[in-house]
A and B are shown apart, each in its own frame.
Chain A
Amino acid sequence: MRSAHQDILDRWLAAEQNDRADEADAALAALFTALPPLLPPAGFADRVMLRARLEMETEMVTERVAVAMPAPVRRSLFASLWVRGALTLCLLAIGVSVLWLPQMLHAVAGLLSVGGLVRIWTSSLVTACRWLGSVLGLWDFLMTVGRALATPLETPTVALALVSCLLVSLLAFRFLRGLITRDRSWTYVNS
């Protein structure tokens, strides 16, 4: 004796073999209706509600804690007694060292003559000018290259071709990016 399920299955497969799409659609839908439904385990809704309640409670506790705890007050750096002490000691040390400053300056001045100072100053000036010259030379070279590259762009055809190339590359980039970062597509799921 043929069962009702077998009849529906036969109807579907026969319709599929004969390319009767509408009939196949209807028969397959009927077959799924006839077969037992896939039910979640008993108590599913209770477990969901439990999780939802826990979630709510956690949120409420977080909010309460946020309300109960005062916002952290920024302490001044100088509030600490240690910092104040260290700072005072530093100032004292500087004050004491000032007493030796004239003697130190006198000793250093003795090492350098006026002629020596002028020599140092002029050699520094020459070195700085040389550096500036090198930089200007490089800038001149870059300007020459830039002018050479810009000359063809003055031709409308070349400029149009360049803009077209830029547009094509921009579109290609956007397309590739979209392809790679497309979200939640089954393409990137290995199952």
Chain B
Amino acid sequence: MLTDAELVARALKGHQEAFREIVVRFERPVYSLVARMLQDPATAEDLAQEVFIKAFRRLDTYDPQRKLSSWLFKIAHNTTIDYLRRRTPETVPLEVGKDDDRGSLAAVLADGSSENPAAAAERRGMARALEQAIARLRPEYRESVVMFYVEGASYQEICEVTGLPLGTVKTNLHRARKELAQQMTDLGWAPRETRDARAS
């Protein structure tokens, strides 16, 4: 399997398949980041496509010493912020307890389960609650959480992408995790022991 740098080198030589491989390799993390920042899957697809098109246009500026994922995340970060600045303020919140959430991020997340109905329902509920909790975070917290916990990016990579100092990134992540836990508890997902203690 070719490394990211090799793929970029081949793509620069005009191999379309190499660029396609880059897209396939990074479509999930880029889409995941953009979608979670926007909370709107339809716009997220357009914007994620734009991220790759921008990468395609500026592929010659990619420094092979850096991780390709960081470079793409940086483009995604800039593209998302530019989009959010341009658009009129509007949010598409994920309503708690809404049965029909087709098209929402929670629905996209919870699709394709092959578990038994009860487990699938629980997982769907948990995924929805977690997405709601993430959506309620401040944008800079949300971005750090998605990059660190979902995409497994390092602190340094998050610093590179967001342009924030290391200390701020660590503080953001700590506070975001605390806020997420509080949100999950508020949404009825307190630890089993706590719930049992409350019930008794």
Chain A positions near chain B (C-beta within 8 angstroms): 2-3, 5-6, 9-10, 12-14, 16-17, 21, 24-25, 28-29, 31-32, 35-41, 44-45, 47-49, 51-53, 55, 184-186, 188-191
B2-10, B52-60, B65-73, B94-102: which lies at the interface: B52-60
Chain A hits for B110, CB < 8 A: 36
Say what secondary structure dominates the interface of chain B: helix
Nearest CB on A from B196, distance (A)? 11
The answer to whether A3 and B122 have CB atoms under 8 Å apart is yes
Task: Check A13–B177 contact: CB distance below 8 A.
Answer: no
Q: Which residues in B have their C-beta under 8 angstroms from that of A2?
A: 192
Q: Which of B28, B37, B49, B126 contacts A9 (CB 8 A)?
A: B126
Contact of A35 among B24, B108, B130, B163 (CB under 8 A): B130
Counting contact residues on chain B (CB < 8 A from A), the size range is: 35 or more
Measured in the bound complex, the distance between the Cα atoms of B148 and A182 in whole Å is: 24
Judge whether A47 and B89 touch: CB under 8 Å.
Answer: no
Would you list which residues of chain B between 85 and 127 have a CB under 8 Å from chain A?
Answer: 85, 89, 91, 105, 108-113, 119, 122-123, 126-127
Instruction: Tell whether, in the assembled complex, residue B57 and residue A29 are in contact, meaning their CB atoms are under 8 Å apart.
Output: no
CB-based contact A13/B85 at 8 Å: no
CB of A52 within 8 A of CB of B48, answer no
List 10 A-B residue pairs with CB atoms under 8 Å apart, sorted by A's residue number.
A2-B192, A9-B189, A17-B181, A29-B152, A35-B130, A36-B110, A38-B35, A49-B20, A189-B84, A191-B91
